[in-house]
Amino acid sequence: MKYTKISGAAILLGIALSACQQQTETAAGQDNGGAGEKGAIYLSAEQMELSGIVLGQPDTREVASYIECSGIIDVPPSNIRSVHSPVTGFVQKVNHLPGEYVRRGELLVSIAHPDLIRMQRGFLESAGRIAFLKKDMARKEELANADAASRKAYEQALTDYAVEEAHYNGLKAELELIGINVSALEETRQVQKSISLYTPVAGYLTRVNANPGKLVEPTMLLFEILDNSHVHLELEVFAKDLSFLSEGQQVVASIPGREEELYGKVHLINKAIDLERKTAKVHVHLDEEPHNLAIGAFLYARIRTDSRKATAVPEAAIVRSGGQAFVFVKEGDAFRKVEVETGQSDDGFVEIRKLNLKEGQQIALKGAYYINGTE
């Protein structure tokens, strides 16, 4: 009998201790944050405030669809100037280095060659002959009209003058083309030993292929000048996406390593497709001219194609795990993790589907990852 009484007392004591332990664990879960029954997560008011949890309801807003692509920073072809020597010659002096900014009209290089001297000499000789032939033609015309000379002599003088005039005008055009002041040459009769090449536009020197003593020819590129006063985006869009594009659509672009974004609009859509890459060029004008961007810099872009009304929440309200998306629904004093289906993302918001909330029920719009970490 004594053994039986001791066993009964022990059983009663064990039950009491178990009940106390369960009450303590439940209270700790409610006060300190933790998972309750059926996945419920309890957080105190102080925890919610410190973790920045914001409650609210999904919003109905415009959600856009985008086409993602890549491209580069570029300038119009008219903003890239190539400088060649108009004649064969030897480089005398180079005044600039690659990367320098040059103003329009600055001296780039001087070029000298004996052929330059011969061309000017030939022009001066032709100028002297044409003056003589013009007077001789006038004299023979007068004699022919007075029957003092044959008509044939006058016609020969007329032909000689016409031939020399063509030669003179041709030499004059050549010299003007290579940058020699023909009027000053004819007036002073001072032959230039070299010609100078000047910058046609203001911009940055991207190429310098000249050095003193180098023999250059008209086919050789000496300088390339980049005028970056107007830049645009040159995007490559896959052929399958071209049917969704139209002029005026908004574009958002970002350069790897830079935080700021570039905004613009589709200006032109190339109708020719690169058969090898299966892409077409899309020309985008920027809303504002950017600064300190290297021409040719690689970028990612999104072209906004359309928009529609959808139920959306901030991206901070979504928790992703293993390809699934979840939100935390407030139920009484606890949160419950609910799986949702996501759609388009736009401007910091994500479209959600298959979320059935009771009237007035809220979800965690901010701090979802904190709640997820207390599971």
**pLDDT means over runs of 10, the chain (375 residues):** 38 39 42 53 82 85 86 91 93 90 92 92 91 86 74 84 92 90 89 91 92 93 91 93 91 90 93 90 91 87 86 87 87 86 82 84 85 74
How crowded is residue 111: how many other Cβ atoms within 10 Å of its Cβ?
25
* pLDDT for the residue 322: 84
Token representation of residue 15: 């039950």
What contacts 289, CB < 8 A, 6 or more positions away?
Answer: 229, 230, 231
User: Do the Cβ atoms of 284 and 300 come closer than 8 Å?
Assistant: no
- Helix (H), strand (E) at residue 281: strand 279-286
Structure tokens at 277: 């890459």
How far, in Å, are 223, 247, 309 from residue 63 at the CA level? Answer: 49, 20, 6
Please, are residues 209 and 221 in contact by the beta-carbon 8 Å criterion? yes
Is the pTM of the predicted complex or chain greater than 0.85?
Answer: no
Residue 8 amino acid letter: G
Instruction: Give the full edge-to-edge strand order of the sheet including 89-94.
Output: 194-198, 107-112, 89-94, 215-216
Contact (CB, 8 A) for 56 and 366:
no
What dotted CATH number matches 33-62+309-373? 2.40.420.20
Fold adopted by 78-226: OB fold (Dihydrolipoamide Acetyltransferase, E2P) (2.40.50)
Distance between CA atoms of residues 66 and 308, nearest Å: 12
Predicted confidence at residue 22, as pLDDT, reads: 40
Question: Using DSSP, how many helices (H) and how many strands (E) does the chain show?
Answer: 6, 22
Question: How far is the C-alpha of 373 from the C-alpha of 335, rounded, in Å?
Answer: 12
The third-level CATH classification (topology) of the domain covering 67-77+228-308 is: Elongation Factor Tu (Ef-tu); domain 3 (2.40.30)
Output the pLDDT for position 43.
81
Q: Which residue has the tokens 């190339």?
A: 270
Per the document, the length of the chain is: 375
> Which strands make up the sheet holding 221-226, listed edge to edge?
80-84, 221-226, 203-208, 101-102
**Angle, CA of 277, 278 and 284, to the nearest 5°:** 90
Find the Cα–Cα–Cα–Cα dihedral 178, 181, 185, 188, rounded to 10°.
-150
What does the CA dihedral 291, 295, 298, 300 come to, rounded to 10 degrees?
A: 50
Q: Parse the chain into domains and list their residue ranges.
A: 33-62+309-373, 67-77+228-308, 78-226
